[in-house]
Structure 1
Amino acid sequence: MESSAQTFELLLDGLQSCCTRANLGQVSDIVRLTGGATMESWKFQADGELYVLRRAPSLEFMNDRPFGHDVEAAIIRAAHSAGVSAPEVVGELAAEDGIGSGFIMRALPGTPDPKAILAMNSPAELLDEIARDLARIHGIAPARLPVAIPTLDYRQGIEGLKAQFDEAGGDRPIIALGLKWLMDNCPDPVTPVLNHGDYRMGNLLAEDGKLTGVLDWELAHFGDPHEDLAFGCMTVWRFARIDRPALGLGSLEAYFAAYKNAGGGKVDPDRFRFWLVYRTVWWALGCLQMAKYWRTGEDRMLERVVISRRTSEQELDLLMLLEEDAPEAERDRPLPDPHLTFTYTGEAWAGELAEAVSEWLVTIKDRLTGHDRFQLAVARNALGMLARGEQEGDTTIDIQAAKLVMEEGMSLNDPIWLSLLRRGALEKVAADSPKYPALAVARKKWTGKD
């Protein structure tokens, strides 16, 4: 087995090979960037200029992807030429480089940190620029793009989500409700446009309140422009500013108006809601799939198993979207009492062991830097899930209820069920992600308590 030092030397040699081929000069100061749910990113210098390598953690990881990094690089080049704040692609990895699949981009200024961006001055101006770039993306002519880019068939997309749901156990009734709603409310197709596919906070760069970059194009496809518009407005991507429905920056009305003024079309509220539900189901299942990547050994990074537990966040958000269609009597029904918790007095229970390890990790935090420091925070997050979840019953997993939804048409019209799902969702998110901003909103809405 190769050591981390040997792995780094291989990365350095392969990166230098690619940079030499692209006439970029001598490589130095390589640093692994934190974050990224799927791909690795490495920042480095070459002859005094800053660049970023984007690559797959393994070649196997690209097997289920709709297209390779060569297509992604071509899409970014087309977007850059169309005036989108996309990076400049300057080189692509080759087999002889020996470090997998990926490409090199010229580094852009700004931060991708959502909290820092949402705290910047002039959020309305930034929202206008984000809407402008999205309109430009949607306006790129298909003839300027690779033919390998897929087109999303809405019905096939829903069937694909259902297949993922079944593969993951088919035992989450809230996700089942979302899938059934999508089947019953699927709109007619519109003329497809290029979708970025992941247009949200976390994939946007900003500096001094100005948009400086649009990153991570691996999910690009042709489809309904409302899909891109809705994705960034999901609760999870608004971070601490869920009071601002449009990417955490402003109102939907302002976002839609800016998009139209920049050359995009008029937004249909019903289509927008459909894609908001679709993408919430999509990300819930995407989170679940992270555990599969870890179990199969495709990617044994700690983030995978931790992200899988963020499914509960999406279930909470999904239930808040779907309950709009429930009868008023069910929306007004009080929640059942919380599950009982226990006080332990004997030997340390599993949650206390997890808490003790988490406290010890704090003592070594200052010895770590870069990605290792980020991994320590992820590890403490995982231990917190264990400590909190040990005392909670989990009513969000129920294969029989999920089957009743998919096969018998059980819905939120059925008496009491909405209140039971609400209680289960609150307790699950409290264990998995107690700081998730929507949790406080849902708790206040459903129980009247802070």
Structure 2
Amino acid sequence: MTSAQRAAARRTEFRDRAKHLTEAARLPTEPYTCQGFPLSSALVLFADATTLAVLVGGEEDALTVDSAFAYGIAHAPGRELAVVLPAGAEAATVCRATHLDRPVAIWTHDGTAVTPVPPGERACAPAGMRETELRGGEHDLGPRGGWIEHLTSWADRYPDLVPAHRGSYRAWHCAGRQLLNVRRSRTGIALVAGVNYSKPEAGDVSPLLLSVDGPLDAATAARVRAAVETGVADRLGNQDSGHAEHRLQAALASHWNRIGWPVARRLEREMPARRPGERTGYVDFVSVDDAGLLHIVETKIGDDEFLVLQSLDYWLWARTNADLLAAHFGLEQLTGIRIDLVAAEPDGTTPDANAPILSSYAPAQLEALGSHIDWEVHRLAAWGTAAPALRSLGSRIVPGQPHVRRRPVPPAPHSASDCLPVILQQRLIVG
């Protein structure tokens, strides 16, 4: 059997057991469906008039466990949400659930038995999210940096390159595309010039890969610069149009102060952050305004059912490490923490105020966020031009049409709807 066939067989076997788990937990046992809103085949859903139960098998990955909560919140309005997760995989969900203004019951299972999980305490810092110090900063090349200093100085001065360094490497981007990357290696410096495609296609130019073990000679340095400049020309000339979201972020960084964003201090990009479940993510942007309010900024083009919960994760991380972040930005303390969701129109050149910018699942997820969490959605148009336009939709205002696609909303009592337990749909049709 292929891995896909094994996964399908495993999920079929779990579906046969899922009903027994919900019966043991005294949860609904009628299969749930919602036409037009496809759900992961790794999830098993049951519902009645008061409760939606979402179950995950024991061999699924963390992303599937996350999807149970993300989809469940979106489909549960009007019902209590119950998630039944593999034992040992519940920590992140417990942490997030304590910051929702929605009833959520969490259970774990070992394949045969279920156990309820007591609600977490909101005042407690999430385990594993505390930093001893903020991560990030510039990769230190040490004395070896002198071997390529004339090259890195050239990159710093090049008008179309932007530094995008992390703790594990130094890099320069053009319009969001990485074109030069250097880092220490065991014996010297590893250098990549040009576009290092993760999935190269026919016609893609291979990057220049070098292992530098001494001062870089003039001819090799010229080849590196040529590879980078070819990448710049392709990116600016739209021959290289991939990674649109990286291009969006680069445009936002370039025009930040010209579109009315309330940023007074330096703008930090791709800041490493510990997420619930002891995973690491990278916040798109972090900054502080004149009032000392920390902004957690996440950008997105197109549908992403995880955008809201990912932003909640970063809010939790910022709250847990508020003292470190205040010191990082030169403040005694933060006045608050805010989530800013910057959703871009699909076409970055032609503004279209009627184009949906958020997933169908986002409204219910935003509505569920606790009232103690400050958030706002912003619509960005013409982000691929020299004059992007930002429209803020209002503090804690849940976007409706035309900003979102249609959303899965459970029916009013005794009415027909696509979003019903299967047995109730059948009864409505027969009746």
Larger Rg: 2
The structure that is strand-richer by fraction is 2
Q: Structure 2 length normalisation: TM-score? A: 0.31
Q: Structure 1 length normalisation: TM-score? A: 0.30
